[in-house]
Amino acid sequence: MLRAEGLRRSYGQRTVVDVAALELRRGEVLAVLGPNGAGKSTLLRLLLLLERPDAGRIFLDGQEVRAGDVAARRRMAAVFQRPFLFTGTVRYNVGFGLAARGMRGPECERRAAAALTAVGLGSLADAAVATLSGGEAQRVALARALVLSPELLALDEPTANLDVTVRRRFREDLERLVRAKERTVLVVTHDPADAFSLADRIAVMEAGRIVQQATPSALVLAPATPFVAEFAGAELLLDGRATDVDPPLVRVEVAPTASLWATASAGTMVAPGQRVHVAYRPEDVTLVRAGAAGETSALNHLPLAVAALAPAGSLVRVRLQGSIELVALVTRRSVEALGLEPGASVLAQLKASAVHVYRAD
């Protein structure tokens, strides 16, 4: 539905967007994920035709469109990070776009009421926007966009300004709404939780460039760079050295007395003696009692000691130390069954396929 080619935007001497290609398919939810300063907001303004690129082209349904194209912009609606609400009632705000397009009377009222019900604010239609909480204001902005039935809905940092207590509920409601009617949705966020819970595909953005586009599961299983791995929830062991190479397996010395078998991603050539980075996900670390390895296909078996435990939602984050430092995510039941406490000895097991190796250059 939406395609960008060779998109560039600079401010002064600084290039903030340099995207070779980006495509959003009809009925798809695409997330652009990256840290603050990566160029995400500028990319969003370019795609919404609110700002003119220095180079490149944007196509909507195969037709080239440019900044200021009113007909194209009417096919889109956006909810920005800090929603601007007009003075007046919630009902007035939600119906504003419809009124601006000439709709009046019962049909306008019906559609506004339906949009408010969809976002859970049906009872606040006559409330003044000045009395709303941050989460309620964000829902009003979302209803104001949805009521227009846009072909493309853009969400800019949808949960960034919400309190932790309401963020999860809003994200769940947002997932339900973006999936309704097979909407085409573009989500721009720095929060992996938003991207991984909402998107069909994720485009990871670093320093103005898209460094990997893939499904959420592919980003987890085969992150293309250490930067992507970290955004996908990996822990990094830096400054390793490849000692043995049997493609795609690589044995990496990560400490004077410890090494890990890892897997090089497709297209990554690693030679013995080369400096590398190693990434793994804490949930891929299995803990067993010291001396009780049992049957496992894991190539990595590391005797370590528990350094600290910390709650991580429904799981427990276990920091391990010894020949190397690792982090494991385990259930509370596992903590009790294994008798995990600071100082306890354990055997950490990790499959080579769950450890990713990258050239340090």
Q: Which domains does the chain have, with CATH numbers?
A: 2-227 (3.40.50.300), 234-359 (2.40.50.100)
Give the per-residue pLDDT at 294: 63
43 close to 188: Cβ distance less than 8 angstroms: yes
Cα–Cα distance, 100 to 105 (Å, whole number): 13
Cα–Cα distance, 116 to 121 (Å, whole number): 5
2 close to 47: Cβ distance less than 8 angstroms: yes
87 close to 96: Cβ distance less than 8 angstroms: no
Structure tokens at 243: 């000692």
Read off the pLDDT of residues 284-296 as tens digits, 9 standing for 90 and up: 999 998 877 666 7
Parallel, antiparallel or unpaired: strands 63-65 and 55-60: antiparallel
Handedness of CA 28, 140, 84, 104 (dihedral sign): positive
Parallel, antiparallel or unpaired: strands 201-206 and 29-33: parallel
- State the residue for tokens 């493309």: 152
Cα–Cα distance, 94 to 274 (Å, whole number): 59
Asked if omega into 226 is within 30° of 0 (cis), the reply is: no
Cα–Cα distance, 22 to 32 (Å, whole number): 10
Nearest to 204, CA basis, from 38, 84, 66, 61: 38
Cα–Cα distance, 19 to 284 (Å, whole number): 33
Cα–Cα distance, 355 to 279 (Å, whole number): 6
Nearest to 180, CA basis, from 146, 148, 135: 146
Q: In whole angstroms, how large is the CA radius of gyration of the chain?
A: 24
Give the per-residue pLDDT at 238: 78
Structure tokens at 193: 């939780």
Residues of the chain with pLDDT under 50: none
Length of the chain: 361
Cα–Cα distance, 199 to 171 (Å, whole number): 12
Residue partners of 170: CB distance under 8 A and separation at least 6? 135, 138, 139, 158, 159, 162
Bridge partner list, 186:
30, 154
SS3 state at 286? strand
Cα–Cα distance, 231 to 10 (Å, whole number): 25
Structure tokens at 73: 């912009």
Nearest to 46, CA basis, from 12, 14, 22, 71: 22
Structure tokens at 54: 């220095």
Give the per-residue pLDDT at 293: 60
This prediction has a pTM of: 0.87
